């Protein structure tokens, strides 16, 4: 199976995607739900679930009443996910401003932790986690928004 959207990368709620089996059977389905690590596509007739980490697709209902008949590893989808996660995303719109707000808030929290906590491995871990919060928050903006 292959996954495509109009931009060729990340799928968001409401996006219409084309899923094609290796035998040529095509599904055009809207993304209707994203729950944790799973993305669901459903047009009221067919329902598919994609594992966002592995890129595997489970056909929950193929429109003919079948449930869970096949599970296919989708290397193409996994590659799209990896390309999106490990590509440069040029900031647009108000993203730079939001990145800076997140960094500023992180800096303020780091100052509080630094001033109130004794030197310790726990303090060191807390500071590292603050850095991670900033990084993951900004990454969520970068890779999940389209221009």
At residue 68 the predicted structure's pLDDT band, cuts being 50, 70 and 90, is: very low
Predicted pLDDT of residue 83: 72
Residue 141 has pLDDT above 70, yes or no: yes
- Alpha carbon distance 80, 68 (integer Å): 24
Instruction: Name the residue with higher pLDDT: 23 or 104.
Output: 104
At residue 26 the predicted structure's pLDDT band, cuts being 50, 70 and 90, is: low
φ/ψ of residue 115, rounded to 5: -80, -25
SS3 25: coil
At residue 87 the predicted structure's pLDDT band, cuts being 50, 70 and 90, is: confident
Token pair for 59: 């056909």
Q: What is the mean pLDDT of residues 40-45?
A: 73
Contacting residues for 96 by C-beta, under 8 A, at least 6 apart: none
Yes or no: say if 10 and 24 are a contact pair by the CB < 8 Å rule. no
Residue 72 has pLDDT above 70, yes or no: no
- Alpha carbon distance 74, 55 (integer Å): 5
What average pLDDT is seen over the chain? 76
* Assessment of whether the complete model's pTM goes beyond 0.85: no
User: Could you state, in order of their start, the residue ranges of all structural domains in the chain?
Assistant: 2-85, 95-144
């Amino acid at each position: 199976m292959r996954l495509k959207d109009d931009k060729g990368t990340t799928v968001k709620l409401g996006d219409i995607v084309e899923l094609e089996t290796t035998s040529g059977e095509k599904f055009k389905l809207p993304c209707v739900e994203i729950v944790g690590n799973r993305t669901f596509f459903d047009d009221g007739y067919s329902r598919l679930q994609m594992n966002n980490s592995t890129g595997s697709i489970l056909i929950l209902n193929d429109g003919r009443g079948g449930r869970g008949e096949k599970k296919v590893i989708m290397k193409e989808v996994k590659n799209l996910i990896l390309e999106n996660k490990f590509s440069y995303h040029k900031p647009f719109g108000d993203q730079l401003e939001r990145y800076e707000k997140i960094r500023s808030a992180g800096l303020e929290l780091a100052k509080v932790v630094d001033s109130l906590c004794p030197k310790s491995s726990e303090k060191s871990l807390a500071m590292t986690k603050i850095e991670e919060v900033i990084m993951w928050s900004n990454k969520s903006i970068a890779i999940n928004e389209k221009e």
